[in-house]
């Protein structure tokens, strides 16, 4: 079973070949022997890789890690697993209403850069208010409802696109 | 340690981020209560936590909240503050604000509103400087007659710098190298000036090739007395934004340095300047220097001056504002060693320095007696597009420039801000560059050496190490690599 | 602990001959196993692909953590039943690691008659659930079955340990706090619907997964109602309307991903504190086992040589080495776990029976798991031995073994005959896991012995009737007996009937025991105490 990681936009395949006595990882055709990684996912430490001591600082989360070594900073991500096998859904670009209701207030507009979890709209249904949040980082492409407008369950209320890096 | 009674009881800091933290630190040392202002989005910010009191300010955008003079004055009055420190940027050079603070019965920790207005208008400032015998670059002011302006500009000679009269901080400027581009550049500058500063006046002045940006820190008591705290070199700039500053200037000959500092002091005294200010100059390779502008506020890079003089500029600002005048004479100020400051920004050098957003997943701040890390950062903090991308300032001191450079490079290596891309390694690359070490500085340094400052393509070993150490930092992968119990972990993929 | 000194000569003619013989047996075993695991009708494979389904073994590989072992149980179940129509009894069971947790996996094989449950399928699943209960192992069910194999319903439905027992075991497991997850990849019909329903968590794949007590044809026949599979029991309905299923999955990969995430939430079981040391590979090459085992089941060999190729560092601390020498008893480590080993070097006599009982008591006192390496034809018989109390001594050994509080593991290395099987913890005595080697035989007595006994009876009959000894008749009786026995004595027959938990290659024994022992530690030790020893 190989994992596909994303290193600054490039795909990398990585496999676990052995765990004891040392971790052996296979990356795009080559095996590497890795010494014990005693530290936590975030911090500065030394790691032995193929006999060389490598010093780095990293900040890891559940699905990504930013790492700084040899005077450069890299970002590694494990592509959103729920995007795999869902083909058509375009990486969660549509934000759908979970139940019928009305739009109470709109917090973002087209062009706003948003992070995963940012509130996009506040809706009301059954006398309860809730915020609809962005399922991922990106840019708001459009908000499809206005304040006071009604919507049905599963109606698309907002669309997102990826952050454009070219300018 | 000063045993005088605190000059004010309470001061409101009309700013945010690292400068607010830094001002609050001095206020605390002086026994003065501090009031922070913040927009809702920065409620958990360190400068808010550091202050004794905090007031939420409101606005359409976080920046607009910090620009709302009346609201800030109202907050100061409501909290019972006696003075307002404006920091830099925002309202610090807003003459109307300074006046309104005074009229509200509060003390504005900075120059008089009239001085701010004088120096805020680049054309009137130039005229004033010339009158004090401070050298200014040949220039011509645009009048309604575009044709006349262009022909007058041509007589100065190219290359020319077309600037907005009401501008500053490097905004609204462009270099014109030949007559062809002048008309267009003038039109654009005028329209940008109108849009950004509400004042469409432009002027053109001779542009000095490969100039060095030298500025002098001055302090005045408002009664015609002024001293200088030596000069700073801010030649390392990207698109007119300073990113590395140092004090003193590299290899400046004694007489020339004295002449520049004296000119700055003369200007400040003549303007009956009160509080802290900075006089900026362009220094050509031929040793001729010209007045650029005067900034009537505390500057971002003031720490390098503090480190070579051992003085606390914010403290001196507060003392002057409290009517204590200049507590030092020129001969009391003696420089020692060398200091370098690096501005750490959330931007990606590999993608044309586009501002970055994200969360600070990991923060490691180096700690040494010779360094200051001015910041208001916190692990877990969200970096948004609401504010300026500058995150922090790293300032180091050394016995000489060589030691300061080594210490700065070391500190940048130990500093870790992960979760959002920064220019930390880019800064280290500049410091380590042969030309920088040699002191061969000028304001086009970064453009000239751009290709050698680009991050080098990583070699295979580095990429592999990044992948391995990075993958083991991703919890999902790490759990699979290390989460298998024995004896299974030693059996690999055995099947019977 | 001292290393066993091997007195084997790996270059002797005898060794070489035996080695060739056993390598050949293992080759045949591997071929049969491969066929049972992988050889399928093309049309069945195509049907699965058309339905967008993965093969059951593909699902298991994706479910398991990468680069981890999997101990498959009873891979040759039903190999001698149903004309070979149900390889591995149409299901796969085994122990592996999912999201860092030790789990038991039970997967239907829908490449065989749509995954229909044969009687031996049910027996294999019930056995798997018994293993889960005895060892407190969480279970992951990979459901994809057409239901019971109707033609043989009387052999899989009504009795105590038939299909209902699967669901009864599920409820017991749940009551014990041991978790179950069901991934519904295909149909779960009738009783099969209870597998996800009785699981603590379940995931259902859109379009292909379905859960219903009666499928559309049955519903139509019973009430005249016309309804589609999806409407009756599909993912959408069960995850949004009835609440029978917990998580809808877009496809099989998604179901596996969700399943792994669910398992990742589970708390790792606390094992009881078995004595443990750092594991060490045996000093002698395990492949030498091929040359140690005889090529004729009647020939004696030294079990210490076998022990030396299984235990850590080949180190063994023998207990009472000079007494009761037909039973070897001693302590060793297997994958670091301290165990007490009993192994046969001949028939059991009074002294070896007593030694065995005493050693078992020592292991129970010390919380040391027991490993029985069987090569036993039985207890010694004869007048002298009966007078000395061989029956009582055998009973004492059985009493000690059977009432043990520590987990027990049995490997049938060669012969497993008669009462010797009992004393040495045969199937009936609840070893947590029992494995057999390809060469092993199991029966009430050996084939030759059975033949000789019947010949003896015939001779006595002839004598008592005053008939002349008809040599041809004698030979016919012997030959017929042997033939009848041969088939049912073979390890293949035993494993086919699920009289064990799998046939394994001798060189796999160490890893199999390592996993088995590790899995067994999740359940607490039993109660101490024995019944009455007839002294």
d(CA B487, CA C69): 10
Residues B260-315 pLDDT 10s: 999 999 999 999 999 999 999 999 988 889 999 999 999 999 999 999 999 999 99
Element housing C481 (H / E): helix C471-489
d(CA A162, CA C481): 79
Q: What's C111-178 look like in SS3?
A: CCHHHCECHHHHHHHHHHHHHHHHHCCCEEEEEEECCECHHHHHHCCCCCCCHHHHHHHHHHHHHCCC
Q: For strand C370-376 and strand C337-344, is the pairing parallel, antiparallel, or unpaired?
A: parallel
Chain B: give the shortest CA distance to residue A153, in Å. 32
Is residue A5 within 8 Å of A15, Cβ to Cβ? no
In this prediction, residue A83 carries a pLDDT of 40
Lowest mean pLDDT among A120-129, B41-50, B59-68: A120-129
End-to-end CA, chain A: 38
pLDDT of B69 higher than 60: yes
Whether residue B488 lies within 8 A of chain C, CB to CB, comes out as: yes
Angle at CA of residue C415, ends C410 and C420, nearest 5°: 70
Whether residue A31 lies within 8 A of chain C, CB to CB, comes out as: no
Phi, psi torsion values for C149, nearest 5 degrees: -80, 100
Confidence band for B171, pLDDT divided at 50, 70 and 90: low
Minimum CA–CA partner of B489 in chain A: A19
pLDDT of B44 higher than 70: yes
In this prediction, residue B137 carries a pLDDT of 84
Query: Which residues of C are less than 8 Å from B484 in CB distance?
Result: 65, 68, 97, 100
pLDDT of B119 higher than 60: yes
Confidence band for A82, pLDDT divided at 50, 70 and 90: very low
In this prediction, residue C263 carries a pLDDT of 97
Is residue A58 within 8 Å of A43, Cβ to Cβ? yes
In this prediction, residue B209 carries a pLDDT of 79
Phi, psi torsion values for B473, nearest 5 degrees: -90, -10
Phi, psi torsion values for B452, nearest 5 degrees: -80, -10
* Sequence-ordered list of residues with C-beta below 8 angstroms from that of C437, at least 6 positions apart, any chain: C293, C411, C412, C413, C414, C491, C503, C504, C505, C506, C509
pLDDT of A165 higher than 50: no
Residues B189-215 pLDDT 10s: 888 888 777 788 888 888 887 899 999
Chain B: give the shortest CA distance to residue C440, in Å. 17
DSSP string, B318-344: HHHHTT----S-GGG----SEEEEEEE
* Mean per-residue pLDDT, B234-259: 93
- Bridge partners (DSSP) of residue A27 are A14, A30
Minimum CA–CA partner of A21 in chain B: B490
Confidence band for B169, pLDDT divided at 50, 70 and 90: low
Q: For strand B83-85 and strand B10-13, is the pairing parallel, antiparallel, or unpaired?
A: parallel
Query: Which residues of A are less than 8 Å from C236 in CB distance?
Result: none
Angle at CA of residue C496, ends C490 and C501, nearest 5°: 100
* Chain centre distance of CA C502: 4
User: Percentage of residues in chain A with pLDDT exceeding 90?
Assistant: 29
**For chains A and C, what is the number of CB pairs under 8 angstroms?**
26
In this prediction, residue A13 carries a pLDDT of 92
Assess whether the previous peptide bond of B248 is cis (omega < 30° from 0).
yes
Q: Do A17 and C67 touch (CB under 8 A)?
A: yes
* Number of residues assigned to chain C: 535
Residue C16: C-alpha distances to residues C13, C20, C291 (Å): 5, 6, 6
Residue B336: C-alpha distances to residues B214, B311, C398 (Å): 18, 12, 93
Classify each residue of C207-243 as buried b or exposed e, where b means 16 or more C-beta atoms within 10 Å of its C-beta.
ebbbbbbbbbeebeeeeeeeeeeeebbbbebbbeeee
Nearest to B91 by CA among B67, B65, B115: B67
Q: Contact partners of C by the rule of 3+ C-beta pairs under 8 A? A: A, B
d(CA C94, CA C106): 7
Confidence band for B4, pLDDT divided at 50, 70 and 90: low
Whether residue A64 lies within 8 A of chain B, CB to CB, comes out as: yes
Residues B317-363 pLDDT 10s: 999 999 999 999 999 999 999 999 999 999 988 888 888 888 898 99
Confidence band for A142, pLDDT divided at 50, 70 and 90: confident
Residue C11's Cβ-side half-sphere holds a number of Cα atoms within 13 Å equal to 0
Token pair for B162: 């077309």
Chain C: give the shortest CA distance to residue B478, in Å. 11
pTM of whole model > 0.95? no
In this prediction, residue B168 carries a pLDDT of 66
d(CA B302, CA B281): 16
DSSP string, B126-176: HHHHHHTT--B--EEE--S-HHHHHHHHHHH-SSEEEEETT--TTTT-EEE
Confidence band for B170, pLDDT divided at 50, 70 and 90: low
Query: Which residues of A are less than 8 Å from B463 in CB distance?
Result: 7
Whether residue B491 lies within 8 A of chain C, CB to CB, comes out as: yes
In this prediction, residue A88 carries a pLDDT of 35
Edge-to-edge strands, sheet with B226-238: B289-295, B274-283, B212-221, B226-238, B241-247, B338-345, B390-398, B371-375
Minimum CA–CA partner of A26 in chain B: B468
Q: Contact partners of B by the rule of 3+ C-beta pairs under 8 A? A: A, C
pLDDT of A129 higher than 70: yes
User: Percentage of residues in chain B with pLDDT exceeding 90?
Assistant: 68
Query: Which residues of A are less than 8 Å from C257 in CB distance?
Result: 81-82, 84-85
Long-range contacts of B55-64 (CB under 8 A, 24+ apart): B55/B12, B55/B79, B61/B386, B62/B386, B62/B387, B63/B386, B63/B387
Minimum CA–CA partner of B410 in chain A: A71
Is residue A131 within 8 Å of A122, Cβ to Cβ? yes
Can you give the pLDDT of all 535 residues of chain C as single tens digits?
899 999 889 899 999 999 999 999 999 999 999 999 999 999 999 999 888 899 999 999 999 999 999 999 999 999 999 999 999 999 999 999 999 999 999 999 999 998 999 999 999 999 999 999 999 999 999 999 988 898 899 999 999 999 999 999 999 999 999 999 999 999 999 889 999 999 999 999 999 999 999 999 999 999 999 999 999 999 999 999 999 999 999 999 999 999 999 999 999 889 999 999 999 999 999 999 999 999 998 899 999 999 999 999 999 999 999 999 999 999 999 999 999 999 999 999 999 999 999 999 999 999 999 999 999 988 888 899 999 999 999 999 999 999 999 999 999 999 999 889 999 999 999 999 999 999 999 998 887 888 888 888 888 888 888 877 778 888 888 888 788 788 889 999 999 999 999 999 999 999 999 999 999 999 999 999 999 999 9
Is residue B463 within 8 Å of A58, Cβ to Cβ? no
Residues A83-117 pLDDT 10s: 433 333 344 577 888 777 889 889 998 888 887 77
Token pair for B253: 């000959």
Residue B488: C-alpha distances to residues A10, A26, B423, C172 (Å): 33, 19, 44, 27
Element housing A14 (H / E): strand A10-18
Phi, psi torsion values for C276, nearest 5 degrees: -135, 145
Find tokens 């009160």 and name the residue: B274
């Amino acid at each position: 079973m190989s994992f596909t990681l994303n290193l600054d936009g490039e795909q990398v395949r990585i496999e676990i070949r052995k765990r004891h006595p040392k971790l052996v990882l296979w990356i795009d055709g080559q095996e590497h022997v890795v010494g014990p990684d005693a530290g936590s996912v975030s911090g500065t430490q030394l790691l032995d890789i193929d006999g060389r001591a490598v010093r780095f600082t990293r900040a890891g989360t559940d699905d990504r890690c930013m790492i700084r070594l040899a005077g450069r900073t890299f970002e590694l991500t494990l592509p959103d697993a729920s995007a795999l096998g869902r083909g058509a859904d375009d990486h969660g670009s549509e934000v759908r209403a979970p139940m019928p209701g009305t739009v109470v207030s709109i917090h973002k507009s087209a062009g706003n850069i948003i992070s995963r979890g940012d509130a996009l709209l506040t809706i009301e249904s059954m006398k309860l208010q809730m915020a609809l949040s962005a399922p991922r980082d990106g840019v708001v492409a459009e908000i499809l409802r206005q304040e006071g407008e009604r919507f049905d369950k599963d109606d698309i209320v907002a669309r997102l696109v990826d952050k454009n890096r070219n300018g | 340690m000063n045993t005088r009674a605190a000059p004010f009881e309470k001061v409101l800091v009309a700013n945010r981020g690292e400068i607010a933290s830094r001002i609050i630190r001095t206020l605390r040392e002086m026994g003065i209560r501090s009031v922070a202002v913040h927009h809702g989005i920065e409620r958990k910010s360190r400068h808010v936590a550091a202050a004794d009191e905090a007031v939420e300010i409101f606005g359409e955008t976080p920046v607009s909240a910090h620009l709302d003079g009346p609201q800030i004055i109202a907050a100061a009055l409501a909290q019972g503050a006696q003075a307002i420190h404006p920091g830099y940027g925002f309202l610090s050079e807003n003459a109307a604000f300074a006046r309104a603070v005074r009229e509200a019965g509060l003390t504005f920790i900075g120059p008089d509103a009239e001085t701010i207005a004088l120096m805020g208008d680049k054309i009137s400032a130039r005229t004033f400087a010339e009158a004090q015998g401070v050298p200014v670059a040949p220039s011509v002011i645009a009048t309604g007659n575009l044709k006349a302006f262009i022909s007058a500009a041509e007589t100065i000679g190219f290359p020319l710098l077309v600037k907005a009269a009401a501008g500053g901080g490097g905004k609204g400027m462009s270099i014109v190298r030949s007559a062809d581009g002048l008309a267009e550049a003038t039109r654009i500058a005028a329209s940008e000036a109108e849009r950004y500063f509400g004042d469409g006046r432009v002027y053109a002045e001779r542009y000095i090739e490969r100039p060095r940006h030298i500025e002098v820190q001055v302090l005045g008591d408002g009664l015609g007395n002024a001293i200088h705290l030596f000069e700073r070199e801010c030649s390392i700039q990207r698109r007119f934004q300073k990113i590395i500053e140092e004090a003193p200037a590299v290899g400046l000959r004694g007489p020339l340095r004295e002449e520049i500092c004296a000119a700055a002091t003369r200007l400040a005294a003549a303007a009956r300047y009160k509080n802290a200010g900075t006089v900026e100059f362009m220094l050509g390779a031929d040793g001729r220097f010209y007045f650029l502008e005067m900034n009537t506020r505390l500057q971002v890079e003031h720490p390098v001056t503090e480190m070579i003089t051992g003085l606390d500029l914010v403290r001196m600002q507060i003392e002057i504002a409290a009517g204590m005048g200049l507590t030092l004479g020129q001969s009391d100020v003696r420089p020692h060693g060398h200091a370098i400051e690096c501005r750490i920004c959330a931007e990606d050098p590999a993608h044309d320095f586009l501002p970055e957003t994200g969360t600070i997943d990991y923060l490691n701040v180096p700690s040494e007696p010779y360094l200051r890390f001015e910041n208001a950062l916190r692990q877990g903090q969200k970096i948004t597009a609401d504010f300026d991308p500058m995150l922090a300032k790293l300032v180091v001191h050394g016995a000489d420039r060589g030691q300061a450079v080594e210490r700065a490079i070391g500190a940048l290596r130990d500093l870790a801000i992960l979760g959002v891309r920064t220019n930390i390694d880019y800064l280290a690359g500049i410091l380590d560059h042969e030309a920088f070490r040699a002191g061969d500085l000028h304001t086009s340094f970064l453009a000239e050496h751009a290709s050698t400052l680009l991050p080098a393509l990583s070699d295979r070993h580095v990429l592999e190490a990044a992948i391995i150490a990075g993958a083991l930092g991703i919890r999902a992968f790490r759990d699979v690599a290390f989460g298998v119990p024995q004896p299974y972990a030693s059996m690999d993929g055995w099947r019977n | 602990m001292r290393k066993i000194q091997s007195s084997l000569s790996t270059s002797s003619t005898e060794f070489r001959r035996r080695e060739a013989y056993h390598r050949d047996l293992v080759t045949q075993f591997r071929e049969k196993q491969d066929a049972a695991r992988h050889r399928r009708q093309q049309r069945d494979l195509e049907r699965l692909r058309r339905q967008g389904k993965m093969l059951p073994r593909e699902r298991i590989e994706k479910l398991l953590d990468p680069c981890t072992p999997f101990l498959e149980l009873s891979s040759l179940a039903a190999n001698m039943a149903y004309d070979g129509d149900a390889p591995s009894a149409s299901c796969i069971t085994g122990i592996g690691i999912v999201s860092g947790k030790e789990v038991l996996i039970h997967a239907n094989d829908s490449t065989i008659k749509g995954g229909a449950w044969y009687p031996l399928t049910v027996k294999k699943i019930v056995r798997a659930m018994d293993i889960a209960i005895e060892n407190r192992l969480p279970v992951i069910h990979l459901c994809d079955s057409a239901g019971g194999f109707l033609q043989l319903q009387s052999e899989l439905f009504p009795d105590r340990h038939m299909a209902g027992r699967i669901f009864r075991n599920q409820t017991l497991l749940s009551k014990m706090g041991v978790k179950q997850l069901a991934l519904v990849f295909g149909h779960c019909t009738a009783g099969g619907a209870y597998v996800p329903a009785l699981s603590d968590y379940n995931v259902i794949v859109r379009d292909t997964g379905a859960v219903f007590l009666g499928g559309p044809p049955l519903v139509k026949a019973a009430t005249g109602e016309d309804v589609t599979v999806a409407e009756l029991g599909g993912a959408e309905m069960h995850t949004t309307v009835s609440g029978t299923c917990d998580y809808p999955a877009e496809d099989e990969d998604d179901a596996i991903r969700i399943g792994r995430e669910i398992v990742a939430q589970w708390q790792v079981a606390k094992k009881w504190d078995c004595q443990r040391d750092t594991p060490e590979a045996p000093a002698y090459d395990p492949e030498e086992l091929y040359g140690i085992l005889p090529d004729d089941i009647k020939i004696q060999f030294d079990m210490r040589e076998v022990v030396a190729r299984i235990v850590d560092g080949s180190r063994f601390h023998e207990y009472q080495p000079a007494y009761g020498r037909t039973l070897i008893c001693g302590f060793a480590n297997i994958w670091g776990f301290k165990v007490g080993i009993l192994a046969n070097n001949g028939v059991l006599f009074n002294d070896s029976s007593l030694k065995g009982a005493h050693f078992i008591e020592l292991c129970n006192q010390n919380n040391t798991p027991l490993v029985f390496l069987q090569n036993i034809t039985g207890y010694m018989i004869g007048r002298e031995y009966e007078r000395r109390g061989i029956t009582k001594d055998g009973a004492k050994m059985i009493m000690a073994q059977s009432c043990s509080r520590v987990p027990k593991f049995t490997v049938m290395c060669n012969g497993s005959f008669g009462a010797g099987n009992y004393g040495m913890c045969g199937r009936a005595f609840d070893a947590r896991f029992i494995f057999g080697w390809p060469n092993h035989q199991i029966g009430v007595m050996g084939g030759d012995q059975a033949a000789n006994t019947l010949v003896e009876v015939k001779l006595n009959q002839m004598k008592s009737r005053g008939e002349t000894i008809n040599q041809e008749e004698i030979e016919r009786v012997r030959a017929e007996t042997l033939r009848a026995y041969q088939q049912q004595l073979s390890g293949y027959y035993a494993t086919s009937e699920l009289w064990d938990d799998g046939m394994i290659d001798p060189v796999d024994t160490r890893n199999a025991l390592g996993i088995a022992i590790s899995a067994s530690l999740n359940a607490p030790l039993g109660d101490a105490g024995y019944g009455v020893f007839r002294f």
